[in-house]
Amino acid sequence: MNPYIGHDSQLYGIEEHRLVGGKGDGMRLYEVNNGKGLMMTVSPDRGGDITRLRYRGINLSYFSPCGYVAPAYYDSIGSNWLFSFTAGFLTTCGLQAVGSPCNDAGEELPLHGSVANLPCEQAYWTQEDGALVIHTVTKDETIFGRKLTLSRTLRVSTEENSFVIEDTIANTGDREEPFEILYHMNMGYPLLDEDSIVTIPSAEVLPRDDHAAQDMENWMHMEKPTAGYQERCYYHKFADEAGRAEIWQPKQDVRLTIAFDARELDGFVEWKMMGVRDYVLGLECGNCYPDGRNVMRKSGMLKFLQPGEEKTYRVKVTVGQERWLTSP
């Protein structure tokens, strides 16, 4: 008990709000304040993703021109996912597909899958020693088809400026099921500008296509917003389990570090998009690359869950002035 305060929210806490107006009308939002300078917005109506991330008042994430879009507006045809791509700090891609629209094993798959546009079946938060914890359950299930459940625990420290995303994906059906997941984490201004320093200590960097290959030597260099910019993607491979990526903004003196197990999340993508208003850097760990599930199947990288089987992934994000490149 702290004798100086009347309510814990003077120091830290979570408040639940609802949006009013626009395409996001009625959406639930958790506003999280860890009391150390880290603030975020979590959307239980969009798969438990993180729509905003701030540190000591400095915005760290990208928010797309779409703004908040409720699940009812989601269009699963082709690349229409983009019309509801809020981006935010975290958009989860999957579970049935990640990346380019394709046909795989007779199933038409949309861009980046549908889980980010599904409302959570369950969402609640608890306060524990040293942490604020949000629990969500999202079901990506259909009759005559896949039955996958995503159980997420988002643990926000009240002792340091860090949080951990722990996801368990379960196959609740009666057949083997392919599954993919990509943590589409989006850095935005003012954390991101032409002076930002990006460090990804990977053992190998591969361009996704010829366009990316033409500027291979500048994969780590950010640029000013450029009209007509065409996105560039680079695939990073790590020598061991210590997957990590860091962006430092010297003008704000703020760093953001992402840490994960690169043996489990073995497909790390750097998405460099330096357009006008479409100005974003994606630092994205996943269990696949965003080339379409059919390509992942042919490459042998596609993962499967047997009936009743589950798989857990863990990603840690740390923010502050100091340098962290630590294991998850």
CATH number of residue 47's parent domain: 2.70.98.10
- For residue 290, give both structure tokens: 């965003």
Using the predicted structure, report yes or no on whether residue 327 has a pLDDT greater than 50.
no
How large a percentage of the chain has pLDDT more than 70?
Answer: 98
> Which of these, 21, 61, 22, lies nearest to 41 by C-alpha position?
61
- For residue 322, give both structure tokens: 């100091």
The answer to whether 156 and 36 are in contact (CB under 8 A) is: no
140 assigned to some structural domain: yes
DSSP calls for 182-200: EEEEEE-TTTSSTT-EEE-
pLDDT tens track for 111-142: 999 999 999 999 999 999 899 999 999 999 99
The answer to whether 121 and 138 are in contact (CB under 8 A) is: yes
**What is the torsional sign of CA 288, 291, 296, 301?**
negative
Q: Is there a cis peptide before residue 225, judged by omega within 30 degrees of 0?
A: no
Mean pLDDT for the stretch of residues 188-206? 98
Sorting pLDDT into bands at 50, 70 and 90, what band is 322?
low
Residue 22: alpha-carbon gap to chain centroid: 24
| d(C-alpha 315, C-alpha 306), whole Å | 24
214 assigned to some structural domain: yes
Using the predicted structure, report yes or no on whether residue 209 has a pLDDT greater than 60.
yes
Sorting pLDDT into bands at 50, 70 and 90, what band is 328?
very low
10 assigned to some structural domain: no
| Stretch among 77-86, 154-163, 232-241, 319-328 having the lowest mean pLDDT | 319-328
269 assigned to some structural domain: yes
38 assigned to some structural domain: yes
149 assigned to some structural domain: yes
Q: Is there a cis peptide before residue 150, judged by omega within 30 degrees of 0?
A: no
The answer to whether 312 and 168 are in contact (CB under 8 A) is: yes
326 assigned to some structural domain: no
Q: How many domains does the chain have?
A: 1
2 assigned to some structural domain: no
> Which of these, 185, 205, 131, 162, lies nearest to 324 by C-alpha position?
162
- What is the identity of the amino acid at 318? T
Give the N- to C-terminal CA distance of the chain in Å, as an integer. Answer: 31
pLDDT tens track for 148-162: 999 999 999 999 999
**What is the torsional sign of CA 291, 294, 297, 303?**
positive
- What is the identity of the amino acid at 167? D
pLDDT tens track for 213-271: 999 999 999 999 999 999 999 999 999 999 999 999 999 999 999 999 999 999 999 99
CA atoms within 13 A on the CB side of 57: 1
Structure pTM?
0.96
Which residues are CB-contacts of 210 (< 8 A; sequence separation ≥ 6)? none
- Residue range(s) defining the domain that contains residue 79: 17-320
